[in-house]
Chains A and B, each alone.
Chain A
Amino acid sequence: KAGVTQTPRYLIKTRGQQVTLSCSPISGHRSVSWYQQTPGQGLQFLFEYFSETQRNKGNFPGRFSGRQFSNSRSEMNVSTLELGDSALYLCASSRQDGLQETQYFGPGTRLLVL
């Protein structure tokens, strides 16, 4: 079974621009979560989507948004990029058809903001 895929793998943007990252979950998985990883803050939860609805959200500004499509694929968008948004953005999927579902991570998208 194919794992979680994320595109693009690497991205360079400049301050003020906006960016869209894509995540395709494992087949059959309905929940997609997004995390940001930086050297200073470590891995932090951004938001989680299930059945095209955002169910949970971490403590990030409104510049960070996302959506999920009917095929469970998800995108996250960051508007008005800041230097501090440079990070590894990770997507994780899980089945979410019961309790305690294991999350499986993709390889991440490394974003550099200049």
Chain B
Amino acid sequence: DAKTTQPPSMDCAEGRAANLPCNHSTISGNEYVYWYRQIHSQGPQYIIHGLKNNETNEMASLIITEDRKSSTLILPHATLRDTAVYYCIVRASNDYKLSFGAGTTVTVRA
């Protein structure tokens, strides 16, 4: 019951910015956009989340469009260790669970 659409895969050059798109056209006003990533066989790692405004932390930036129907996760300087499956998740404030879709497999190449 994932509410997001992500490209299945993308490549990125090491040292360049990686821009990961996510469509969530049915997002409601009380739903946040969360990003997690999962490096092979490890637990998902929280990256960032936002509601309306753009957000930035030490890992990434999250750009949410004004109509909130899509967002972009930006990894400013991708490294080989950023190779992972990235999940975009829409979650209401009273949601007790995370609903994961298939995510985007990002491969960072040297």
Contact = CB atoms under 8 A, between A and B. Distances in A.
Contact of A90 (B32, B44, B46, B94): B44
Contacts of A100: 32, 49, 91, 93
A33 B97 contact: yes
Nearest to B42: A107
A35 B46 CA distance: 15
A107 B93 CA distance: 25
A2 interface: no
Given A88-B41, A99-B94, A110-B41, A104 B100 contact: no
A55 interface: yes
A108 interface: yes
A1 B97 CA distance: 24
A43 interface: yes
A88 B38 CA distance: 12
Contacts of B93: 99-100
Interface of B: 32, 34, 36, 41-46, 49, 91, 93-94, 96-102
Interface of A: 4, 33, 35, 42-43, 45, 48, 55-56, 58, 88, 90, 92, 99-100, 102-108, 110
